[in-house]
Chains A and B, each alone.
Chain A
Amino acid sequence: MITAITPILAHAADFAEGARPEDPAMWGWILLLTPLVGALILGLGHRIWSERVAGLIGTAAIFLAFGAALACLAQLLGMDAEERHVLSGFTYAQAFGVDFRFDIYYDQLAVMMALIVTGVSALIHLYSMAYMKSDRGYTRFFGYLNFFVFSMLLLVLAGNMLLLVIGWGFVGAASYLLISFWYRRSSATRAGAKAFVMNVIGDVALVIAAYLLWHELHTLTIPTLLANADDPFTVMPTATFTAVALLLLVGAFAKSAQVPLHTWLPDAMEGPTPVSALIHAATMVTAGVYLICRMHPFIEISDAASMTAAALGTATLLIAATTALVQTDLKRIIAYSTMSQIGYMIAGAAAAAYSASMFHLMTHAFFKALLFMSAGSVIAAMGGIQDVRRMGGFKKAMPFTYIVFVIGALTLAGFPLLSGFWSKDEIISYTLHRGGAFTIIAAGMYIGAILTAFYSLRAVFLVFHGDPAPEAKELEGGHIAHGDHTNPATGEHEDTEVGFPGADHHIAEREGEMKVAMGTLAFLAIVAGFVQIPGVTHVIEKWLEPVFEDSRYADSIPSVSAQWIGLGVGAVIAITGIAIAYWAYMKNRGVTERWTERFPRANAFLLNAWYFDWLYDRVFVRPVAAFAVFCNKVIERFVVDGIVVGTTTLVKDGAERVRAAQSGLARAYALSIIGGTVVIALYFVVVGK
């Protein structure tokens, strides 16, 4: 028995090896595990914790994780600039040379991403403490949210391709849980399933990509893979390279809601608004950008793949931006703008503007989370109604929300000197610098920019200006609107026992936690751009430089003057877009309705998001469902049951014949025994002779 326990102890030691105190990645492990511990405490004790305590536990765990991320940053800063990466872990499922290990790996890129994730998450947790107060599933919400942060950090810190897939899958699951958080709404559960299934497509693509990488380079450890990507001795066939790049892109596109795998994101707005802010704007959906940056040697090595990525990214940003022009659901407007902005990042990353993409990822996280939070505040004030046509005039009723929303919208629009201005235009100028086909991409980006400026200000004008809506008036009078809530998508009556809006909902104007979170983000949205002003500051570029120095386009940097010209063009475009929106919604209110009446088909086309859902329904969902019916009705009944009926009939008929001998007469049996004995005896007599 003693000898028997030894291997267990050895395993425990092996397991603990990854987390022992002197481990170089100690802070990484703490960073990774803190949110998980938070989720476990919340989950196992969900009967014990009061709502307040649960909120505090969840939020504290994320703030601790943010602290750990800062410690990781400090750890990296304490190392030599060339050596700033840490790898640590244990064997997870290793056999036949498939080194499936539980390794965490962090370098400049991962730490930057971890800081964004934990930082924004911490603020959103803070926001949620007030926002979700009226919700029955308060503890569950924080448990899920903590689990999400753990999953996201697992994705960011993964040092092994298959561990990356695990993180990839976990965020998908967390996203599923949070989209269908209000599980009594059938529209929410359907949206959750849709998001999950589309993300599984991405998971599968990544598994195949992992196999191809393992097959060619004989390892799954990400740093080793990256180091060997250009190794002349292990150089892969071009076709394999292209396949790997495209598969990685499928994974990235599924997660980042890029065309053609984008249709789940607008539906994902069924989740609570903090979820939309955290997962479907700031962090998870940008994982695709992170993946492309992380695996950049394998993307840029194939021109076909990087052109595909850039083209699809641009297509997404244009499709989403045009769709956002006519949407009436406030959260969907922001969701489409998220798709559009990620399109910029993907296209930028495909054009090898990695640090620019990461820069935009960061600023986008700030201003998009801010936009969602302030939208949540408005929706709460409307008693759950999300239709912008019914809103209006909230400027006076909610001054704080108004200010932060305008900051967010202007940043999104790329208004000069705000953070979005610096980051978006850096992507565009890098893309232009690549030249060739990328010039067309950059042109698409400028078209997108004017659309973005238009629709983001459209939302501002529709919601906050104009005649005050009844709810706005009520709020001015000091009351909060309550309504009889029905789900606009299905018309079913809302179950207010499970899910927002409950009896006592909260809006930003009155809640300190919400104000702090939004104020911080608004501040960051304004100033975050100053870390990277062409010719002046280069914080992000310098920090990420070692990660991307092996890029074959590392030296291809646009000149400072070219960048400033780009900034100038961007500023003009942004202001033009804002001016058009002002003209259409403030000066000439109603002009857009007239356009809608004149071009009903175009309007319907955009309103239905270019009919992608309709197309997928016809091409995938219905044929598979029809095939299922065919299997049930034809194959099961005729082929499979045919086998059953055939065999049973055969046996029955045979039995019927044999059964005739079973007369039930004991004497007949005796007779046959005697007869049998005679025959056998006769045989022996004859043989004996």
Chain B
Amino acid sequence: MNISWYIALSAVLFSIGAGGLVARRSPLVMLLCLELMLNGANLSLVAFARMHGDGGGQIFALVVMVVAACEVVVGLGLIVALYRNRLPIDIDELDHLKDPQKADSAL
């Protein structure tokens, strides 16, 4: 298989993730979409590593996985904190940065 196939696939996955990120309002699903994007990037990294026959790209992919794991942990922690504070699990409702009064009443 040509490497370009893999690259094209990674582009598709990345675009799907990006689209989902914007389209969905649940922070949980948005995190999933972020995973999609990261995986798309990972795929291209591994593909390029194969292209050059060099292990560096794979290490990069590994690091991306670590970052993704961290992001998941923090993101999920935030979601749990939102839930604990009885805030809506809806990204559109969480616009307190814009409206300080709302922030005061919410927290």
Contacts and interface: CB of A to CB of B under 8 A. Distances in A.
Interface of A: 662-667, 670-671, 674
Interface in B11-31: 18, 21-22, 25
B71 interface: no
B16 to A, nearest CB: 12
Given A671-B22, A674-B22, A664 B96 contact: yes
Contact of A665 (B18, B21, B92): B92
Contacts of A663: 95, 98
A664 B22 contact: no
Interface string B65-107: 0000000000000000000000000011011111100000000
Interface string B19-48: 001100100000000000000000000000
Contacts of A664: 95-99
A671 B91 CA distance: 14
A667 B92 contact: yes
A684 to B, nearest CB: 15
- Ranked 3 nearest A-B pairs via Cβ: A664-B95, A664-B98, A666-B91
A663 B98 CA distance: 7
A666 B98 contact: no
A267 B98 CA distance: 67
Given A664-B95, A664-B97, A665-B92, 9 more contacts: A664-B96, A665-B95, A666-B91, A666-B95, A667-B22, A667-B91, A670-B21, A671-B22, A674-B22
Contacts of B98: 662-664
Contacts of B25: 667
A618 B76 CA distance: 80
A671 B30 CA distance: 13
Nearest to A668: B22
Given A664-B96, A664-B97, A674 B18 contact: yes
A664 B92 CA distance: 8
B97 to A, nearest CB: 5
How many of chain B's residues touch chain A, expressed as a range? Answer: 10 to 19
A670 B23 CA distance: 10
Contacts of A667: 21-22, 25, 91-92
A330 B66 CA distance: 99
A662 B96 CA distance: 11
A666 B21 CA distance: 10
Nearest to A672: B22
A572 to B, nearest CB: 96
B21 to A, nearest CB: 5
A685 to B, nearest CB: 13
A282 to B, nearest CB: 74
A663 B99 CA distance: 9
Contacts of B21: 667, 670, 674
A670 B34 CA distance: 11
A667 B22 CA distance: 5
A663 B91 CA distance: 12
Contacts of A666: 91, 94-95
Contacts of B95: 663-666
A665 to B, nearest CB: 6
A246 B98 CA distance: 71
B94 to A, nearest CB: 7
Contacts of B97: 662, 664
Most buried by A among B18, B22, B95: B22
Contacts of B92: 665, 667
Nearest to A678: B18
Nearest to B34: A670
A662 B99 CA distance: 10
26 contacts: A662-B97, A662-B98, A663-B95, A663-B98, A664-B95, A664-B96, A664-B97, A664-B98, A664-B99, A665-B91, A665-B92, A665-B95, A666-B91, A666-B94, A666-B95, A667-B21, A667-B22, A667-B25, A667-B91, A667-B92, A670-B21, A670-B22, A671-B22, A674-B18, A674-B21, A674-B22
Contacts of B22: 667, 670-671, 674
A667 B33 CA distance: 12
A666 B97 CA distance: 10
Nearest to B27: A666
B26 to A, nearest CB: 11
Contacts of B99: 664
Nearest to A671: B22
A161 B91 CA distance: 80
Contacts of B96: 664
Contacts of A674: 18, 21-22
A665 B98 CA distance: 9
A573 B45 CA distance: 121
Contacts of A662: 97-98
A408 B96 CA distance: 90
Most buried by B among A663, A666, A671: A666
Contacts of A670: 21-22
Contacts of A671: 22
A674 B37 CA distance: 12
A674 B20 CA distance: 12
B4 to A, nearest CB: 16
Nearest to A674: B18
A288 B97 CA distance: 74
A667 B34 CA distance: 13
A521 B101 CA distance: 84
A180 B84 CA distance: 71
Contacts of A665: 91-92, 95
A671 B98 CA distance: 17
A674 B14 CA distance: 11
A556 to B, nearest CB: 90
B23 to A, nearest CB: 8
